[in-house]
A = this chain, B = another copy of it.
Amino acid sequence: MAGTAERMAKNQKQVAISEFFEKNKHFLGFDSLTRSLITAVKEAVDNSLDACEEARILPDIRVKITKLDDKKNIVELQTEDNGPGIPKRSIEKVFGQLLFGSRFHAIRQSRGQQGIGITGVVMYCQLTTGQKTHVRSKIATETSAAVVDIGLDTRKNKATKSNEGRELWELEDGTLKEHGLEVTCRMKAKYQRGRQSVYQYLRMTSIVNPHADITFVDPDGDVHHWPRVTERLPRKVESIKPHPHGIHLGTLQRMCTESTDSRMTSFLYKNFSGVSTRAAKQLLEAAEIEEKGKPKSMKPDQIRALIEAFQGERVLNGKPVKLLNPPTNCLSPIEELLIKKGLSKTIDSRFVTTMTRSPTVSQGNPYQVEVGLIFGDGMAADKPVEVLRFANRVPLMYQQGGCLLTKAIESVDWRQYGLDQAGGRGVPKGPAAILVHLASTNVQFTSEAKEALADNGEVMDEVRKAMLEMGRGLRKHLEKKKKMVKVQEKFELVNDIIPAIAEKSAMILKRPVPNLAGSITKIMGAVIAESTTAWNKETKMTDVSITLFNYTSRARAYTLLASWPEREGATMEGNDTGGRKEATGVWAWKLETLEPGQTYTIKYALKGLEKGDWTDTDVFYRGSQEVIGASKMDEKLLEEIRRQEARAEEEEAPADPVEHKAAPAQEAAAPVAVEEGPRPTSQQTLMGFGSDR
């Protein structure tokens, strides 16, 4: 035994971060030849999209994969963007040094966060082919582009460079590239088609980045192009300060130690979001700390008391100190219409519903959940629903089973919403696809490869709520469809057979054919609404038509209401039947009394949209007799939504009017007080207006 401990201790040494990730390259997503290629594409494209957004450039991205040696699985990957480029002196750090980047400490939504991604690619290439990665970077302020080959000294976590120089970056048309980045690297990898492929990754990326133009040249030389479907860049995200609710004791300790502030009040006010000067004073009072105390000289007990005040465990006058929520302009959701657009373009189908929930906060981190569901033709009915997962606009391709987003879907009993599901658990079966997107300033993945979200109760609840609401929409759609089909069948039967019988009888009896309107009405005994929403190629508008049939034996009076994409900037054209606005995105028509057998039609066109933007109009009614094919208006919900609108307008008033115009549907950037009335459960999705919620 003597000496064992010493002998064992002698073998211990420090490992460099690059050595660590070289050995554990599977943590970074380099575990199989197929996945390694997808990971490399992902890291490069994510960086391009982040850089373009930050520089407010509409991204043009080109990805090219060439097989260099099919037998030995050597592949060349080239990616090119029109981003701002990287200054020459920064290139080696960005590509050749792990944990180097700008986004690690910033609290805002971005794809990259860790400063690992692209350096990991350079490392994997060097490891598997021994070759450096060629970088060409052109920034706007210089005439020529910087070029260099970058490798990695893993023992030191430093770049190695060769062939450094400058050159003119000529485009195909002979002009010079203004700005952008091109990365060319060679690696051991395998190109593959299918559900987990570069093609699929780029296709998914185009769904959640409708502002990006993406071109992919595959190893066969085939060119795949996903054009941008909107010219509108995602909202610019701003970095925010940490919120007291998300601060750990150890972090506060360090912040105090490193602070140069002279007073605790200014320390709190300046370094945290959601803390007004008044709140700062109250927090200190609750923690029994002097306002003019120096952050640097805070004792452990005082810091603990302050954390307790942050978390409402220490109270003032019997109540926790009120803090504002962090601002949500650090988030950039995709928004319902754009998701719908992306989904409809990619998967041609019948019923599409989407939902962007309001931003919320978990442990001081703002986040927002968006979901979409497509149901209908062209999808396998006997297979599990396709799950499309996204985090901060990045498609997640692997580790589906271990991901919080999947678990949230699995936790819903989809049987009650019309999908098959063994035991009411697990991914449901049916002709559908479910999309779920988490936008957050701090997406917690299970590993550096960023393919699955780690467990978090609050996020789980939020995703579940969105799923349930979407599920209710699906159920309503299916019920409506079923009812309509039945009524339609009955109607056709009645309209075809009864007149035929009448005619035959009349002929045999040699009597005139009787008037049957009354009889048909009697048999049908229902008020029916039929609506169509269709793209008009010639006018480039979306034509909407709503018809109300009174097949009952009494006169009926209704107000009809319809959803329309007002907040997406559409206008209503040729609405000759008048009506009035009930709320943003809800139009109402008070109809004259319909006599038995009478019909009324509303027609209008939506201008300012593109094909696929608006494929389904929700129709609601006010009136005592049920209308088949429409939902009864939920007046309470409508009222609540009007109240929210009024509040949002008040808050938005001081904001930059240009920004306001560009994104009118956005949540206000100003902080919302935590203590204010009930938080709206979702941005107004018209789907939710029906009274059977």
Chain A positions near chain B (C-beta within 8 angstroms): 1-6, 8-9, 11-17, 19-20, 22-24, 26-27, 31-32, 35, 51, 54-55, 57, 72, 84-87, 89-90, 93-94, 97, 99-102, 104-106, 114-115, 126-130, 139-141, 154-155, 178-179, 248-251, 253-254, 300, 303-304, 313, 399, 401-403, 406, 422, 444-449, 452, 454-457
| Known contacts A5-B140, A102-B11; A248/B127 CB under 8 A | yes
Q: Is the CB of B130 within 8 A of A444?
A: no
With most chain B CB atoms within 10 A of its CB, the pick from A129, A300, A402, A457 is A402
Report the minimal beta-carbon distance from A244 to chain B, rounded to whole angstroms: 16
Known: A8-B54, A55-B4, A90-B9. A130 touches B303 (CB 8 A): yes
Residues from chain B with a CB closer than 8 A to the CB of A452 are 402
**Residue among B6, B106, B127, B422 making CB contact with A250, cutoff 8 Å:** B127
Min C-beta distance of A342 to chain B, whole Å:
27
Contact check: which of B3, B97, B102, B303 meets A8 at CB < 8 Å?
B102
Contact B93 A12 (CB under 8 A): yes
A31 near B104 with CB under 8 A, answer no
Query: In the complex where A35-B455, A84-B1 touch, is A248 in contact with B6 (Cβ < 8 A)?
Result: no
A280 to B457, CA, bound (A): 57
Q: Which residues of B contact A105 (CB under 8 A)?
A: 13, 15
Checking B8, B12, B72, B250 against A100 with a beta-carbon cut-off of 8 angstroms, the contacting residue is: B12
Question: Are A31 and B454 also in contact (CB < 8 A) when A5-B87, A139-B5 are?
Answer: yes
- The answer, among B23, B31, B155, B249, for a CB contact under 8 Å with A130, is B249
Q: CA of A100 to CA of B16 in the docked complex: distance in angstroms?
A: 9
Question: How many Å from the CB of A97 to the closest CB on chain B?
Answer: 7
- How many copies of the polypeptide does the oligomer hold? 2
Apart from A12-B90, A12-B93: 20 A-B pairs, beta carbons within 8 A: A1-B140, A2-B141, A5-B55, A5-B179, A9-B86, A9-B87, A9-B89, A12-B115, A13-B102, A15-B104, A20-B99, A24-B445, A27-B445, A27-B446, A32-B457, A127-B248, A127-B251, A129-B249, A402-B452, A446-B447
Please indicate the chain B residues that have their CB under 8 angstroms from the CB of A24 in the complex: 114, 444-445, 448
Closest B residue, CB atoms, query A3: B141
A86 neighbours in B (Cβ, 8 Å): 5, 9
Smallest beta-carbon distance A420→chain B, Å: 11
> A33 CA to B613 CA in the complex, in Å?
44
Residues of B within 8 A of A17 (CB): 17, 99
User: Within the assembled complex, what's the spacing in Å between the Cα atoms of A8 and B94?
Assistant: 12
Residue in contact with A447 in the complex, picked from B9, B27, B250, B251, CB distance below 8 Å: B27
Closest 6 CB pairs of A and B: A402-B402, A401-B401, A447-B447, A127-B250, A11-B102, A5-B139
Q: In the complex, what residues of B have CB within 8 A of residue A402's CB?
A: 399, 401-403, 446, 452
Residue of B nearest to A90 (CB): B9
How far, in Å, is A441 (CB) from chain B's closest CB?
12
With a cutoff of 8 Å between Cβ atoms, the chain B residues found around residue A12 in the complex are 90, 93-94, 100-102, 115
How close is A109's CB to chain B, nearest CB, in angstroms?
Answer: 16
A446 in complex: contacting residue of B15, B178, B253, B399, CB < 8 Å: B399
Q: Which residues of chain B have C-beta atoms less than 8 A from A300's C-beta?
A: 130
CB distance from A361 to the nearest CB of B (A): 18
Closest residue of chain B to A407 (Cβ to Cβ) is: B401
9 contacts between A and B (CB under 8 A): A2-B140, A5-B86, A11-B106, A14-B93, A14-B100, A26-B446, A31-B456, A126-B250, A130-B303
**Cα separation A349 to B250 with both chains bound (whole Å):** 49
The listed residue (B4, B14, B90, B97) touching A14 by CB distance below 8 A is B97
A26 and B444 contact, CB distance less than 8 A:
yes
Instruction: List residues of chain B with CB within 8 A of the CB of A448.
Output: 24, 27, 447
Q: In the complex, which residues of chain B have a beta carbon less than 8 angstroms from the beta carbon of A23?
A: 104
- Cβ of A313: which chain B residues have Cβ within 8 Å of it? 72
Q: How far is the CB of A195 from chain B (nearest CB, A)?
A: 14
A178: chain B residues within 8 A (beta carbon): 1
Q: Which residues of B contact A444 (CB under 8 A)?
A: 24, 26, 31
Contacts of A90 in B (CB 8 A): 9, 12
Q: Is the CB of B20 within 8 A of A104?
A: yes
* Closest-CB distance, A330 to chain B (whole angstroms): 15
Q: How far is the CA of A84 from the CA of B448 in the complex (A)?
A: 35
| Cβ–Cβ contact A8 & B101, under 8 A | no
Q: In the bound complex, what is the Cα–Cα distance between A127 and B249 (angstroms)?
A: 6
A5 to B140, CA, bound (A): 8
Q: Given the complex of chains A and B, what is the CA–CA distance between A26 and B19 in angstroms?
A: 21
Nearest to A94 among chain B residues (CB) is B12
Q: Please tell me which one of the listed residues B100, B249, B449 contacts residue A13 in the complex, with CB atoms under 8 A apart.
A: B100
CB distance from A507 to the nearest CB of B (A): 59
B455 and A8 form a contact (CB under 8 A):
no
| Measured CA separation A40–B183 after assembly (Å) | 42
Q: A130-B249, A248-B127 are in contact. Are A101 and B457 (CB under 8 A)?
A: no
Give the residue among A128, A139, A447 with the most B Cβ atoms within 10 A. Answer: A447
Q: Please report the C-alpha to C-alpha distance between residue A54 and residue B403 in the assembled complex, in whole angstroms.
A: 37
Residues from chain B with Cβ under 8 Å of A155 in the complex: 254
CB proximity of A137 to chain B, nearest CB, Å: 8
Beta-carbon nearest neighbor of A300 in chain B: B130
Chain B residues within an 8 Å CB radius of A3: 140-141
Q: How far is B445's CA from A27's CA once the two chains are assembled, in angstroms?
A: 7
Select one of B8, B128, B141, B303 contacting A6, CB under 8 A. B141
- Using Cβ atoms and an 8 Å threshold, which residues of chain B touch A26? 444-446, 454
